[in-house]
Amino acid sequence: MAMKSLSFLAILSLLALTLPLVISSDPSPLQDFCIGVNNPANGVFVNGKFCKDPKLATADDFFFAGLHNARAVTNAVGSNVTAVNVNNLPGLNTLGISLVRIDYGVQGQNPPHTHPRATEILVLQEGTLLVGFVSSNGDGNRLFTKTLKQGDVFVFPEGLIHFQFNVGRSPAVAFAALSSQNPGVITIANTVFGSNPPINPNVLARAFQLDPRVVMDLQNKF
């Protein structure tokens, strides 16, 4: 009986060690493709989407047009992110990859944010960007930063806070690939100061060492 209990505990320990490896990234597909559809009729639910009957797949399921077109930059941070993910390119379902185009106005930025499910690799097509990421608490919150010129590439590790800032005198354009069909995004300022409902200002005041009135003013901006 003792040996059986020991074996059972060993199996549980092994599962505890391996399970995070299994669920930490998009699952591997068990077929050529799984076109994501919103209609459950004759579909199988895989990775957040229902799969289209493979026999009904067409080239359009794997196609997205217009990413060469410049996007207007009109928001407060001075950038426009155009995402190509499973929500607008259904053939990406289960393939574990997606793409974004980022247009930056002069002095525009893609503000500090994280992707909870993806590593990002960015290539600069036009302009000059200051980019960087900050390591985790255990690594001392070190800042890794570079100024990118046309054709330069930079990698942002999964889950770490990162940013891009246009330091040039003209608009900039970058493209980035992400290691998830739906990487998600958490913009730090919006999340902390614009949550719904708002976080108690006293909590943020202590965390950021600010007067609660300053915190409330920041919350009103988001």
Is the predicted pLDDT of residue 113 greater than 70, yes or no?
yes
Global pTM reads 0.80
For the chain, what percent of residues have pLDDT higher than 90?
70
Residue 151 confidence (pLDDT)? 96
131 versus 55: the higher-pLDDT residue is: 131
Instruction: Please give the residue range of the domain that contains residue 82.
Output: 78-194
Question: Please, which residues have CB within 8 angstroms of residue 173's CB and are 6 or more apart in sequence?
Answer: 70, 101, 102, 103, 104, 124, 125, 126, 127
Residue 44 has pLDDT above 70, yes or no: no
Domain membership flag for residue 70: no
Structural domain includes residue 6: no
What is the overall mean pLDDT for the chain? 86
Residue 24 counted as domain residue: no
Residue 211 belongs to some domain of the structure: no
CA-based nearest residue to 104, from 148, 153, 71, 151: 71
- Give the phi and the psi of residue 2 in degrees, each rounded to 5: -65, -40
In a domain, 99, yes or no: yes
**2 confidence band (pLDDT: 50, 70, 90):** low
Over residues 118-166, the pLDDT tens digits come to: 999 999 999 999 999 999 999 999 999 999 999 999 999 999 999 999 9
Cis peptide before 116 (omega within 30 of 0): no
**Domain containing residue 174: CATH number:** 2.60.120.10
Given a cut of 50, is residue 108 above it in pLDDT?
Answer: yes
Q: With respect to residue 19, please indicate whether it lies within any of the assigned structural domains.
A: no
In a domain, 114, yes or no: yes
| pLDDT per position as a tens digit, 9-24 | 555 454 455 444 444 4
In a domain, 96, yes or no: yes
What's the domain count of the chain? 1
